[in-house]
Structure 1
Amino acid sequence: MNIAVMVNLRARRGSERIGSMVQRFFPRARLALTRSLEEARTWISEQLRPNPPTLLLAGGGDGTITGLLNELREQGVALPAIGVLPLGTGNAWARVTGAPKPFVALRQLAACGERLPPLRPFSLVRVEGKVSPFAGTGWDAETIQDFKNYISRFPPGPLREASGGLRGYMGALFTGVIPRHTFGPGNPNVKVYNLGAPALTVDPGGSLMPLPNGGTGALLYEGPAGVAGAATTTEWGFGFKAFPFAHAVPNRLSVRVYGAGALEATRNMFKLWRGHHPLPKMHDFFVERLRMDFDREVPFQMGGDLMGMRRSLEFDLAQESVQLVDWRQLGRIFAA
């Protein structure tokens, strides 16, 4: 099997030790230990574009995987099967596919010999020519920046590591986002327009149904938005099921707009985390393409990486999809 492996050394758990594990299990693999997008770009250009791999293992978080996908697309490399090694912070795609710890993952892959492991297809969200498993605006994007500011207070070492996971995100949320929205201007307002085929939604029981007056060009929602985004996967990381219906409709984006204020969201935090439905002021749409227009600039993130401020955004379903290693199924085969 033609395998290439990239490990992001700047990811939370990225290290040269992971590279040593790779070499132990796959001595012929093309391995890159990178510290920047430029290093990854050069490796793709020199090593992968002339001879695209059958399987690409990516060690990092969702931002690493998203950046890798987009760099492959920009360089005209056909997307190979991708195995996500959970070395980041939130690790949404790794969790959805059931990725084990890197040593276990590599051992199970090595047991496949020359055969590809079980794969699971995922569609992709496209915004401004880039693709990602999820993208959005609002509290999630603000929390990413607050999280970076929060952990920067700690010197490199064990204390920063201990503060870099879920604890750090919760710290950023409760010391930054919630107070800012509680005592500040509150949520922006958004207008959400359907630009594709007639939209679908879910009823209170979770069953799919056509959205009344949801045809092409329709205004699907107008009002406050604490969070507004689109996804093709259920999670945002840490097990937070932000898009519980993401896999309900093939070839559609799952779009959610949450119109509650910060204090109400805090009271409903555990329901939000579990993807509880129905939830007051939560609006679900399934579309091919849509536009969001905000009444002020809002922070925007793709795959957990901040992309800056936006006043208007168009989301659509990317033409290409990606095949991810289904670690959960591979684990069952390995156990049998």
Structure 2
Amino acid sequence: MTFIRVLIVPNPLSNFSSKLGASQKDVTSGRPDRASETPLSRTRVVRDPGKCAVFLNARAKGWTGELHHDIQRFVSPQDLFLSDDFRQADRTVDRLLAAGYEAIFTGGGDGTICYLMSAIEKRIRDGKISREEAPPVGVLRMGTGNAIASFVGAGEVSEDLRALRAGAPLVVHEVDMLQGPHVLPDDDGLYPFAGVGWDAEVLNGYEWFKDVVHGTAVENYATGLGGYVASLAHTIPKTMRQEPVHVVIKNTGQRAMQLDVAGNILRRFEPGETIFDGNISVCAAATIPFWGFKIRIFPRAAQYPGLAHLRAYDGSVPWILRNLPNFWKGKFRPEDIYDFLIESVSLTVRGRDMPYQVAGDGVGYASEIEWGVAPSPVRLAVPMR
């Protein structure tokens, strides 16, 4: 197996210049096949990747007869693994790691990818496999939100499967992740974004809606984007009647700083210092720019290794509905948004529990939350086309 580095450069922003919003080199230059968001200094190409496995969530929204036909054409039966419940797929993960695959591709939405990342990371931390020996997680664009797939530049799933069958090189990205509970039981899982507030209320409603229609004739029509729209229509009136919630956010890491809308540093915080104390309607953190559906809600994420973009929003839902194009680009009124770069924080909700979402999946309600960037980035792969 041959590794060819695309670029190795020191990070010129490691000392955090006072102008974090300065323009940066186009991260897609030299990579005409992809529109990835990963800086080239964290990307490499594997020219002869060898054998790859495909591990799929058979309940994913993208799982159709046409896709099933393409999988039969492009994936050898001995390299294809299916599951309809990834929470019970630990034995399959062990089989995949023991088989010595160079990469394990998966699809079915961000939650499915987070499951596999977390399962491999758990085995690394348990000493069952070394970080160097662990295969990268290959990303296929299936499911609904596809925030991770958008970030690493995954293409149309059938075309990527075709490229894999043809022995295409792999573009491997090193990507920071947040860590914390709610992905693997009794363990710290990995995920690219999480949040509390009305966005999580919508996602919790969507999970409830999926359970209601599961096994009915309308299931295929009520899940995916249609289900999100239905949940949004149900949630917005309720959200507009609610009062803002008071939260306190403390810096539990070494580095934390507040930014203005242009990316300039307004203030640096010491470990243990409170970085925010006030009302919010949404608060979220991320290590990648996207929220799903290519909503670029975290424009400073993934620009600075080891740091996540934290945003606290104190504006109204009606303003967002009137300004959807700006919202899709992560642009808000300066008086409504508070931006931070953080290593790790604790968040305390006062008054009532808030809806909580992890990687686009509603996971219930919470009042005490910790978000932190995992010590080691994960490796995510896509075929070069």
- TM-score range (shorter-chain normalised) is 0.7 to 0.9
Contact kept in structure 1, 2:204 and 2:363, CA below 8 Å: no
How is 1:112-123 mapped onto 2 (pairs within 5 angstroms)?
Answer: 112-113=167-168, 116-123=169-176
Match of 1:131 among 170, 176, 190: 190
Does residue 167 (structure 1) correspond to residue 216 (structure 2)? The answer is no
Describe the superposition over 1:134-173 as per-residue Cα deviations: whole angstroms up to 9, x where unpaired.
1111122211121234456657678543443333323311
For 1:264 and 1:163, how far apart are their aligned partners in 2?
Answer: 27
Partner of 1:58: 106
Question: Quick one: structure 1 residues 256 and 323, their matched pair in 2 at CA, closer, same or farther if it must change by over 3 Å?
Answer: same
Partner of 1:41: 90
Partner of 2:139: 84
Contact kept in structure 2, 1:224 and 1:260, CA below 8 Å: no
Partner of 2:263: 207
Same amino acid, percent of matched pairs: 28
For 2:85 and 2:211, how far apart are their aligned partners in 1?
Answer: 19
Partner of 1:303: 359
How many pairs are equivalent?
Answer: 322
Contact kept in structure 2, 1:126 and 1:132, CA below 8 Å: yes
With the length of structure 2 as denominator, give the TM-score of the two structures: 0.76
Secondary structure, counterpart of 1:314 in structure 2: strand
Contact kept in structure 1, 2:74 and 2:165, CA below 8 Å: yes
How is 1:1-336 mapped onto 2 (pairs within 5 angstroms)?
Answer: 1-15=50-64, 18=67, 20-27=69-76, 30-45=79-94, 47-76=95-124, 77=129, 78=131, 79-113=134-168, 116-128=169-181, 129-150=188-209, 159-176=218-235, 178-183=236-241, 185-204=242-261, 206-209=262-265, 211-212=266-267, 214-276=269-331, 279-295=334-350, 296-326=352-382, 330=384, 334=385
For 2:78 and 2:154, how far apart are their aligned partners in 1?
Answer: 20
For 2:257 and 2:214, how far apart are their aligned partners in 1?
Answer: 49
Gaps in structure 2 of 5+ consecutive residues: 1-49, 182-187
Contact kept in structure 2, 1:90 and 1:237, CA below 8 Å: yes
For 2:157 and 2:141, how far apart are their aligned partners in 1?
Answer: 7
Gaps in structure 1 of 5+ consecutive residues: none
Describe the superposition over 1:172-227 as per-residue Cα deviations: whole angstroms up to 9, x where unpaired.
11221x211212x32321111111224223333x2342x42522222111112211
Question: Quick one: structure 1 residues 287 and 198, their matched pair in 2 at CA, closer, same or farther if it must change by over 3 Å?
Answer: same
For 2:174 and 2:165, how far apart are their aligned partners in 1?
Answer: 22
Q: Residue type matched to 2:101 in 1?
A: P
Q: CA deviation at 1:319?
A: 1.5
With the length of structure 1 as denominator, give the TM-score of the two structures: 0.86
Q: CA deviation at 1:294?
A: 0.4
Q: Choose 232-241 or 155-164, whichever is displaced more.
A: 155-164
Q: Choose 27-36 or 84-93, whichever is displaced more.
A: 27-36
For 2:99 and 2:210, how far apart are their aligned partners in 1?
Answer: 40
Secondary structure, counterpart of 1:148 in structure 2: helix
Q: Residue type matched to 1:65 in 2?
A: I
For 1:235 and 1:175, how far apart are their aligned partners in 2?
Answer: 24
For 1:200 and 1:269, how far apart are their aligned partners in 2?
Answer: 28
Question: Quick one: structure 1 residues 316 and 38, their matched pair in 2 at CA, closer, same or farther if it must change by over 3 Å?
Answer: closer
